[in-house]
Structure 1
Amino acid sequence: MKIFLFPSVIRRKLTDGVIRGPRSSTTTLDIPSAKLDYRYQGPFTILQQINPVAYKLELPPSLKIHPVFHVSQLKPCHANYFPGRIAPPPPVQVDGHEEFPVAQILDLKQLRGKLHYLIDWVGYGPEERSWEPADLLHAPAKVRAFHWQFPDKPGP
């Protein structure tokens, strides 16, 4: 039995990096609708070509999916043509869950009797700063430095 492939599949050259998609995965985010999900994930590096239409990718362990994909689910990753645009760093694995490193604690407020810190994240811009509850923050050195710098603010 012969298998015929479309010319677009045969001509596709996947060399360095690829982006997975569309709708080929489940993300770890709680997104209410598939249309709000990311269309593509990546870039990922190609470990090996299994056959002419299947590639094995190097995936992070947090995805927990099979790393072999058909070429129809991959598209080539193009170089970053904007030198000022840098991808944010991936989260670090701590005790089996992902955490983002804290660059600096900027402010403190109390909501419903609980402390919330304004966090500046490593690798993210000012538009990505967020208020995080003190009990979910795992950066004791940064909290101590903040309270040393601002001793009049309420402490934990």
Structure 2
Amino acid sequence: MQRGDHRVAKFMVRYNGPYKILHAHPEMSVYTLDLLNTMRIFPTFHASLLKPWRPNDNEMFPSRAHPRPGPIVTEDGVEEWEVESIVDHRRCGWGFQFLVRWKGYGPDADEWWLSRHEVDELEALEKYLEANPEVVLR
């Protein structure tokens, strides 16, 4: 049978992702991926079925660019952005400022240094302080 018009889409190879690698087994060339629970497939794949993830070149392929999430607008009309994590800190006067990573954005958007009172009630601050015990807030 010739390849061409007689292919069935459900049997064609497709690539989803990216997914985090949980376990690598180089002796067998297989990798276990952190898949979504809803996928209902065995999470271990041979290396020949995987491709390395490459970020999109937005200038070359603008239609493939992932839209970034917008702000959450409260009832009062105030725009709020969701913090994914805190990635760094620095001293500022008597206190600290924290560099935040916004949810849905990459490291290229890490440019906002927020004061302690702006991040005081965030779960991300608790996680950052646990991972960095040398930071002592008074």
Larger RCO (alpha carbons 8 Å, 6+ apart): 1
Task: From the two aligned structures, give the one with the greater strand fraction.
Answer: 1
The bucket for the TM-score relative to the shorter chain is 0.3 to 0.5
Give the TM-score of the pair, scaled to structure 2: 0.48
Give the TM-score of the pair, scaled to structure 1: 0.43
